Amino acid sequence: MAENNNLKLKVIKGLFWKILEQCGSQGIQFVVALVLARLMTPAEYGTISLITIFIAIANTFVQSGFATALIQGKDVEEEDYSSVFWVSMLLAALCYGVLFIGAPRIADYYSTPVLKALVRVMGVVLFPGAVVSIQTAFVSRNLRFRQLFQSTMIAVIISGLVSIVLAMRGFGVWAMAAQQMVYYFSLMVVMLINLKWYPRIVFRTGRLKKLFSFGWKILVSGLIDAVWQNIYGLIIGKKYSSADLGAYNRGEQFPKIIATNLSTAIQSVMLPAYSKEQDDPETLRRMASRSIRLSSFVIFPMMAGLAAVAKPLVILLLTEKWIVAAPYLVLLAASYAVYPIHIINLQVMNAMGRSDLFLKLEIIKKAIGVVILLLSLSLGIWPMLILKVFDEYLCTIINAAPNKKLIGYGPMSQWKEVFPSLIISVLMGAGVWSIQLLGMSVLITIIIQVMTGAVSYAVLSWLFNREPLQYIFSLASKRTQR
């Protein structure tokens, strides 16, 4: 019992620092992005978005798999980190070589000459990114999220300042490229100083084989997911224009920053916690249920609120030139609302060592998604995105299905638990949206909308969905007492 309480305390502290790190870093990056958006055009944003798509896919190949295996494994040793480091460096070199050679073809395909140099320069981030993935695994394994918070904040502030200065001096897309470069190199250096972990010249083939037996499935799953997550951007950038892609990415930025921060915090903290209970399905079920109920209780109203204030929010933060991003924001908020549910279900499988199920699910989901995408291509951009939202909700059922057998917690049970939060959020969002019909100034409208949303959601939750609210209050009370 004492050991369980100690684990619970470590998880709560880890989740606190991880959420603080995510919210702090993403908050600063969000402010930086707003400043850059005012200094740049949608077309310039679309150009840099194309590059980040290719870098993201390459990063997944370098970072996924082994890092997750390091976190999940029961008996990870010091030499394992160094062995994975050298493999990651090799993978980074291979991926960079592919990007370097393919850069001219990418530039020609999208009829954007500057992409050639940008891809070759930004591809260098694969190397510090590989190191950071191992450092992050070390942090997650040892629940040392306070050091991660400190390191990330330093890196994000330095990179943000550099990019703003360059943008003000007229460097355009290169300002955003510099932001990525400076961020990864700064984070790597500060983490080396904070963690006191340095790679050694050691390569244990036997241990790597064991990690690889688990990690290769996560790697393939990650690659499939990375390509899928970015395929809409690739299609919009090619079939429509860089300006459309820029508007799509600006609209995605608002819901994505919330959903991914919450999900990353859950993934980083809960995977080690789930892994420690991998032999106890009943405990895992309770932990997964609590995670899904709380994350949905938090993210559903946020996404509903974002959709409701989309137009005035875009005008206030990004100016009128970005108003085309508002409809994208509405649809993508609905899409990202269920993102944490995906993550939690998949982490339960990872924690139980069932990366085979993880991979099978990715193949099934992406096969269905590709069919839906192909059917929607000729319908136009908006039907395509509406069907994308439908696909996201369908995938929550697919992800949850195996957990009914593994831990007795399937899709019906999960949706039954989150349904009250969903209905209350929709009602709150409808009320918040109606306020803009009063014709007040943008700033006043948003202030009233936010206040109305917060109060109405709290009241409705207290009346009809009290349990998650009481649990959050109890956690806050315990932390205050300490």
- DSSP conformation letters of 321-386: GGGGGHHHHHHHHHHHTTHHHHHHHHHHHHHTT-HHHHHHHHHHHHHHHHHHHHHHGGG-HHHHHH
Is residue 298 located within the same domain as residue 386? yes
- Between 1-15, 76-90, 296-310, the lowest mean confidence (pLDDT) is in 1-15
Find the mean pLDDT for residues 253-262. 82
What is the C-alpha to C-alpha distance for residues 436 and 450, in angstroms, rounded to an integer? 12
Check pLDDT > 60 for residue 255.
yes
Q: Which domain holds residue 470?
A: 259-482
| Residues 348, 414 contacting (CB under 8 angstroms) | no
Structure letter (DSSP) for residue 36? H
What is the C-alpha to C-alpha distance for residues 350 and 358, in angstroms, rounded to an integer? 7
Give how far the C-alpha of residue 417 lies from the chain's centroid of Cα atoms, to the nearest Å.
23
Per residue, the 3-state secondary structure of 229-298, as one string, reads HHHHHHHHHHHCCHHHHHHHHHHHHHHHHHHHHHHHHHHHHHHHHHHHCCCCHHHHHHHHHHHHHHHHHH
Is residue 79 located within the same domain as residue 183? yes
Nearest-CA neighbor of 136 among 49, 228, 68? 68
Is residue 263 located within the same domain as residue 406? yes
What is the C-alpha to C-alpha distance for residues 4 and 94, in angstroms, rounded to an integer? 43
Structure letter (DSSP) for residue 437? G
Is residue 170 located within the same domain as residue 210? yes
Find the mean pLDDT for residues 138-159. 86
Best-predicted range by mean pLDDT (18-22, 89-93, 139-143): 89-93
Percent of the chain with pLDDT over 90: 30
Is residue 30 located within the same domain as residue 129? yes
Is residue 453 located within the same domain as residue 354? yes
- Between 69-73, 96-100, 276-280, 407-411, the lowest mean confidence (pLDDT) is in 276-280
Is residue 76 located within the same domain as residue 212? yes
What is the C-alpha to C-alpha distance for residues 49 and 232, in angstroms, rounded to an integer? 12
Q: Which two tokens stand for residue 371?
A: 């069919």
Check pLDDT > 70 for residue 382.
yes
pLDDT grade, residue 183 (50/70/90)? very high
Structure letter (DSSP) for residue 123? G
Q: The pTM is what?
A: 0.72
| Residues 187, 155 contacting (CB under 8 angstroms) | yes
In a domain, 128, yes or no: yes
DSSP character string of 450-466 = HHHHHHHHHHHHHHH-H
Is residue 225 located within the same domain as residue 366? no
Check pLDDT > 80 for residue 289.
yes
| Residues 28, 259 contacting (CB under 8 angstroms) | no
Find the mean pLDDT for residues 233-244. 81
pLDDT at 269: 58
pLDDT at 98: 93
Is residue 230 located within the same domain as residue 277? no
Give how far the C-alpha of residue 270 lies from the chain's centroid of Cα atoms, to the nearest Å.
15
pLDDT at 275: 60
In a domain, 72, yes or no: yes
Is residue 339 located within the same domain as residue 423? yes
Domain count for the chain, please give it.
2
- Between 195-204, 307-316, 335-344, the lowest mean confidence (pLDDT) is in 195-204
Find the mean pLDDT for residues 11-29. 77
Query: Which residues have a Cβ under 8 Å from the Cβ of 243 and sit 6 or more positions away?
Result: 41, 42, 43, 46
In a domain, 250, yes or no: no
- Between 62-76, 84-98, 263-277, the lowest mean confidence (pLDDT) is in 263-277
Query: Which residues have a Cβ under 8 Å from the Cβ of 68 and sit 6 or more positions away?
Result: 137, 214, 215, 218, 271, 350
Residue that is last in its domain, among 206, 239, 272: 239
Q: Which two tokens stand for residue 182?
A: 């400076």
Q: What is the mean pLDDT of the chain?
A: 84
In a domain, 247, yes or no: no
Is residue 343 located within the same domain as residue 293? yes
What is the C-alpha to C-alpha distance for residues 383 and 372, in angstroms, rounded to an integer? 11
In a domain, 91, yes or no: yes
Q: Which two tokens stand for residue 255?
A: 């819901």
What is the C-alpha to C-alpha distance for residues 340 and 396, in angstroms, rounded to an integer? 10
In a domain, 251, yes or no: no
Check pLDDT > 80 for residue 265.
no
| Residues 84, 67 contacting (CB under 8 angstroms) | yes
Kindly report the number of other CB atoms within 10 A of residue 424's CB atom.
23
Q: Which two tokens stand for residue 169?
A: 């001096």
Is residue 200 located within the same domain as residue 281? no
What is the C-alpha to C-alpha distance for residues 44 and 114, in angstroms, rounded to an integer? 11
In a domain, 249, yes or no: no
Residue that wins the pLDDT comparison between 270 and 397: 397
Best-predicted range by mean pLDDT (59-73, 137-151, 269-283, 420-434): 420-434
pLDDT at 466: 78
pLDDT at 221: 72
Give how far the C-alpha of residue 239 lies from the chain's centroid of Cα atoms, to the nearest Å.
26
Residue that is last in its domain, among 239, 268, 297: 239
pLDDT at 9: 67
Nearest-CA neighbor of 25 among 229, 272, 190? 190
In a domain, 248, yes or no: no
Q: What is the dihedral of CA 269, 275, 278, 280, to 10 degrees?
A: -50
Residue that is last in its domain, among 210, 239, 268: 239
